[in-house]
Structure 1
Amino acid sequence: MRGVYGSFVRSNNQNFDYIMLIDTEGLLSTEKGNEEYGRRLVLFCLAVSHLVIINISGQISEELKKMLELCANSLSHLGVDIVPKPVVHFVLNQQSNPNSNNHLEPMQKILTDIKKDKLSQKIDIRPETFHTLPSAFQKERFSFDHNDNEKPNISHTDPEFLEETQKLCNLVILSAKSYLGRVDEQFSDSSGWLRFVKTIFDTLLKFPDLTYFTDMNEKRQDANIRQYLENKFTDLFSPKYRQELIDQTSRQSERSITDLFFVEFDKHLRNIEQDLENVLQLKKVAERI
């Protein structure tokens, strides 16, 4: 898959021999302008990973939250084996004040919406999986005179960033160990994992509608409209109506039956199209549905 990069590294942890690290291109990038492809990347990573880290520069955006919710919902519609309930970690980096209490509101909103849509059965997100990091670099004026603004700046790695990053690495490893202790072993070799991943990749290509919608609201609207049409056709072509058509055409020629059906179905189609248009406007359904 374009935009996905992998590194297969040996582990020095006794709980697992190797670690497959998957990295993706930046999501919601204004330069790429392809949100649907971003959703496909997220869904792919959720389906094949035991642990997912979402690295965010700044704040958690509403667009990212919607993308995660939609992809978590789509996991149950893949129709193939996936990694069960991956742990999702959020890392908010480059924070001028890395106190996690400053991000309680967006964090709580994600947790509430995930629980409301019953997505907590699909992905594991908890307050403990939200992390913050300070800025990686500090800038200093390359001059003994601090009032000299014409001298160049030098950047050096902030010791606090190094310390917090090391703590985060330890937390991630502990999270991975805890996860693997709760599930049955899925992969005993790299080739088995690659076959597993190829099946999921082929499924995403075969069913692009899994990542078509922009959020859960659009997906629910689409499901409601489909159910409306199904009910409409079921009511229209009732057993009584079908029997009437059979009785009406039982002694007619094939050509006459074809003409009659064409007229009848064309009339029904126009009525349903008009009814559907009214429903779409009444419920203010998204244009892409």
Structure 2
Amino acid sequence: MACSHLVLINHKGELSRQLQDLLEICLFAMQHLKVCRIQPKLLFVLRDQHDRSSDVHGDALRLMRKHLSEASKHLDIRLEDLVSLDPGSVFLLPSAFASDLDPHTGHERRWSTELFAQDMFRLRRKIFGTGSSNTIGDRFGEEGAPEFSTLSDWCLHAMSVWRGLDRYGPNLLHYKTMQEIEVQRELEEAVKHIGSQAINGEHGLAAETTRLLDDCTKRLNVGAKSEQVDAEFRSALGALQDACAAKCQAELGRCLQARRATIP
């Protein structure tokens, strides 16, 4: 998506939830990598379609656009700022081959259909029409995307995108759905809140450690043996740390249990 004005998504069957999840993760990666200054146009090429009327996949495309828009809101960006997805973004293709029994031999015979060939030519015209220089210049502007002005500039841009994916991809693309990303964010926020309360809250680790340090300092000032005070300080500090860790784990367990109850 970051290296092309037009992205062909060759898919067998209907627009599915799995395909939508994949696109949501792509949007998430595009937003975080910051390597794309254009809005690539998506074109779904759906193969093996028996009913190819214009309204067949209209509802599915509108539903996908709705979900992608909601996903982009979680990224604090509009869908239109990432990709272009219009009502004409679906191209339906029939099966490439037909089969029947040979009346002379009784064996199955397969052949390529003329209908598929004609539709493929229509798809090519649509692709070249979308990707023509005039169309690209009108929609994206050469000045706004200099990395697409020459082949050399595009190669440098593609190399830069690849380096970004190679460096940050494992941390961005290992998610399967946007729900996983949202759960990860909720978990991070919960851990931060629990840790902050356990350390800086009333009777937290910081306050208890300060009191322990003050007590040990007073004992040293009145002549207590430093070796004994040091040993007791280390023991008490370890107990405070263990108690704080146990409290954090218990609170995190309650948060996770409450979160699981909300998952359908």
- Bin for the TM-score computed over the shorter chain: 0.7 to 0.9
Q: Residues 132, 263 of structure 1: CA spacing in aligned structure 2 closer, same or farther, 3 A cutoff?
A: same
Equivalent residue for 1:102, pick from 39, 56, 59: 56
Shift in Å at residue 59 of structure 1? 1.6
Q: Which residue of 1 aligns with 2:138?
A: 181
| 1:1-289 paired onto structure 2 within 5 Å | 46-78=1-33, 80-118=34-72, 120=79, 121-139=81-99, 141-143=101-103, 148=104, 150-156=106-112, 158-177=113-132, 178-183=135-140, 184=144, 185-207=146-168, 208-238=170-200, 242=206, 245-246=209-210, 248-249=212-213, 251=217, 258-284=234-260
Superposition TM-score, scaled by structure 1 size: 0.70
| CA contact 2:43–2:91 (8 Å) conserved in 1 | yes
Q: Which runs of 5+ in 2 are unaligned?
A: 73-77, 221-228
Letter in 1 for 2:23: L
Identity of aligned residues (%): 19
Q: CA deviation at 1:90?
A: 0.5
Distance 1:155 1:235, change over 3 A: same
1:202-260 deviations in Å (ceiling 9; x for gaps): 33333312012211111101101101111222233328753663453153777665544
**TM-score, normalisation: structure 2:** 0.76
Structure 2 CA distance for partners of 1:163 and 1:236, relative to 1, 3 Å:
same
Structure with bigger helix share is 2
Comparing 186-195 and 213-222, the one that deviates more:
186-195
Q: Over aligned residues, Cα RMSD in angstroms?
A: 2.8
Relative to its length, the structure with more strand (as a share) is: 1
Which secondary structure state, in structure 1, belongs to the residue aligned with residue 67 of structure 2?
helix
Change (3 A) 1:258 1:194: farther
Aligned residues of 1:88 and 1:123 also touching (Cα < 8 A): yes
How many equivalent residue pairs? 235
The structure that has the greater radius of gyration is 2
Deviations 1:156-212 (A, max 9, x none): 3x2222222222222222323434433223234444333333333233333312012
1:118-176: CA deviation from partner (whole Å, max 9, x where unpaired) = 36132221211111011223335544xxxx561452413x2222222222222222323
| Structure 2 counterpart SS, 1:125 | coil
Gaps of 5+ in 1: 1-45
